[in-house]
Amino acid sequence: MRLVWGKILSLIRKLVHWIRRNFLFRFELSRVARQPSLLYDKKTLSRLVYYWDNPWSAREEYLSGIIDFLSNFSCPVLECGSGLTTLIVGELLKDKKVSLISLEHDEQWVIEMRRWLKRYNLGHVQIQHVSLKKYMDFDWYDVEERIVDFPSFGCVICDGPPGSTRGGRYGVLPVMKGKLNNQGVVFLDDAARPGEKQVLKKWSNEFRIEDIHFYGSSKPYACFKFKRA
């Protein structure tokens, strides 16, 4: 009986923890929606990351770097994977009339994220459900039938597909290179992981990329410019 009650209490604590964090996240994001300048406040970003409570989520340093870059940006943005970054960039671009297209392979997560977008009136953000497809020596989002309808992107936020995917995040350049602006900027999260290091090395060997910089201490990310051949 004591063991059963222990499990029940543990479940109750987890539920209370989730309810509290969910409430506080919505509170913070609502503040940002009313006052977008809060996106430039690192304490606000840190709270959003903490309350989002996802171990795979972007960190404050990465979000801050993207926000600083996009603050005077006017071209469509492509995001690989969706989550906290989607909501924050969506809020940043809301008044700029700049579109954000996010590719996501997890159907249930797409449904959840679309609820968030609807709740905060982020109609300029599109989350497209696309399965992962086998290409030559890598797997990536199956966008071949819809790529013709995509705009030209000036920025790529690369947080997906998952690192366990064959080829990791490599596919964004070979598949999307025709839709990336010359001198377009790519942000790559988790740049210190072995898989991402290998992807960066392969991109450097196969594509014209320049001005590669690494930022962040807790979870480093890379930023570089893509040049069309």
Residue 76 makes CB contacts below 8 A (sequence gap 6+) with 98, 99, 100, 101, 151, 152, 153, 154
| Alpha carbon separation from 1 to 6, 13, 14, 188, 197 (Å, rounded) | 9, 18, 20, 50, 51
Predicted TM-score of the model (pTM): 0.90
The two tokens of residue 50 are 């903490």
Q: What's the pLDDT tens digit per position in 169-226? A: 999 999 999 999 888 999 999 999 999 999 999 999 999 998 899 998 888 999 999 9
Pairing of strands 132-134, 221-227: unpaired
Domain segments of the chain as ranges: 57-227
Mind listing the pLDDT tens digit for each residue in 73-121?
889 999 999 999 999 999 999 988 889 999 999 999 999 999 999 999 9
Neighbours of 137 (CB within 10 A): 10
- Tell me the C-alpha to C-alpha distance, in Å, between residue 98 and each of 29, 33, 190: 19, 16, 26
Q: Are 222 and 214 a contacting pair, CB within 8 Å?
A: yes
Q: 161: cis peptide before it, omega within 30°? A: yes
Q: Which CATH number fits domain 57-227: 3.40.50.150, 3.40.50.300, 2.60.120.330, 3.40.50.2020?
A: 3.40.50.150
Specify the pLDDT at position 4: 61
